[in-house]
């Protein structure tokens, strides 16, 4: 493999863009990283080694892809922007362990990808610099698909990373925190200034590490009901659980039945959603699920 200067530098990035006449598409949330040390830190946080494969989402001109190729056994990178394919073919030419998939990961048949690239023989980690506008849909799709991956390490908007890793009784804690932590152990690993991107976004970023759980931390009777229940509990953050759930269950449970649920589970209805642990949400959700099931049967 011939040596080449890292892609993730301001000079090299500008050279590549000029060579191909590439312009950023705001609609795709394209922000390229121009600091190779940040990328190496991400790979360290993701615990990438030659004994594992990596999946990347949105390789751009290949800055992170290159560092993943050096650290991992094999890299499968999903790139939606067809304009970047010839650029990636050029910038990543020295590496023979990279496959670029020109698909939207939200629409891709992941099992087909698994088979085509013989994934699953080694541990698989997802590593990506995600566009801000589509962070949550991508992460939730990966988690809900229950793919055999070990961890997800992503650079995302700092505020969103903090919400995903938030604990109860903090202002960042909400339904997104619970959804992410139902499937993973979440931690914010580092804060990344906007100055390491081209073009610079308006806000700082953070590296979020999600270690996949072997099983959820709580048992729930019905997952869709549980997530919907949690979301409704945060519908109006300043309102009490009693108020939010009364609105949510308008057509299915009376106020007295909701009150009875609070008493049975031992949770004060005047509390707000942000004060409840995931265990308390699971207990309440399971109780009300059974009540509705009995009512409808």
Domains annotated on the chain, with CATH: 10-212 (3.40.50.150), 223-296 (1.10.8.100)
Q: Is 58 annotated as a binding residue?
A: yes
Q: Percent of the chain, pLDDT > 90?
A: 86
pLDDT of residue 182: 98
Provide mean pLDDT across the span 3-18: 90
Position 56 pLDDT exceeds 50: yes
- The backbone region for 118, taken as left when phi is positive above 0, alpha when psi lies in -120 to 50, beta otherwise, is left
Position 140 pLDDT exceeds 70: yes
pLDDT of residue 206: 98
pLDDT of residue 5: 85
- The backbone region for 256, taken as left when phi is positive above 0, alpha when psi lies in -120 to 50, beta otherwise, is alpha
* Cβ contact 146:111 at 8 Å: no
Q: Is 35 annotated as a binding residue?
A: no
Q: Is 53 annotated as a binding residue?
A: no
pLDDT of residue 160: 97
State the CB neighbour count (10 A cutoff) for residue 28.
Answer: 17
Q: Is 31 annotated as a binding residue?
A: yes
Position 219 pLDDT exceeds 70: yes
Confidence tier at 3 by pLDDT (50, 70, 90): low
Is the omega angle on the peptide bond into residue 199 within 30 degrees of 0, that is, cis?
yes
The least confident of 121-125, 145-149, 156-160, 291-295 is 291-295
Sheet of 74-78, strand order: 98-101, 74-78, 53-57, 124-129, 151-157, 205-212, 184-192
Q: Is 79 annotated as a binding residue?
A: yes
């Amino acid at each position: 493999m011939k040596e080449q200067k890292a892609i993730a530098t301001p000079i090299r990035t500008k050279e590549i863009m000029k060579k191909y006449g590439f312009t950023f598409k705001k609609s795709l949330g394209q922000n390229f990283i121009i600091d190779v040390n940040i990328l190496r830190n991400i790979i360290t946080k993701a615990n990438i080694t030659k004994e594992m494969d990596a999946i990347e989402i949105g390789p751009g001109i290949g800055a992170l892809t290159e560092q993943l190729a050096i650290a991992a056994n094999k890299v499968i990178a999903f790139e939606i922007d067809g304009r970047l394919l010839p650029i990636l073919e050029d910038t990543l030419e020295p590496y023979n362990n990279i496959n670029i998939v020109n698909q939207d990961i939200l629409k891709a048949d992941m099992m087909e990808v698994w088979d085509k690239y013989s994934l699953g023989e080694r541990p698989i980690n997802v590593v990506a610099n995600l566009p801000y506008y589509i962070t949550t849909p991508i992460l939730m799709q990966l988690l809900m698909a229950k793919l055999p991956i070990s961890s997800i390490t992503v650079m995302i908007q700092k505020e969103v990373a903090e919400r995903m890793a938030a604990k109860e009784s903090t202002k960042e804690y909400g339904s997104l925190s619970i959804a992410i932590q139902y499937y993973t152990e979440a931690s914010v690993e580092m804060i990344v200034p906007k100055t390491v991107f081209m073009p610079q976004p308006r806000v700082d970023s953070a590296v979020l590490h999600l270690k996949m759980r072997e099983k959820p931390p709580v048992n729930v009777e019905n997952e869709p009901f549980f997530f919907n229940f949690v979301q409704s509990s945060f519908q109006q953050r300043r309102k009490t659980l009693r108020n939010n759930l009364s609105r949510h269950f308008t057509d299915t449970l009376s106020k007295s039945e909701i009150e009875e649920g609070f008493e049975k589970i031992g949770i004060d209805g005047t509390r707000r959603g942000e004060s409840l642990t995931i265990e308390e949400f699971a207990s309440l959700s399971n109780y009300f699920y059974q009540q509705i099931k009995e009512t409808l049967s």
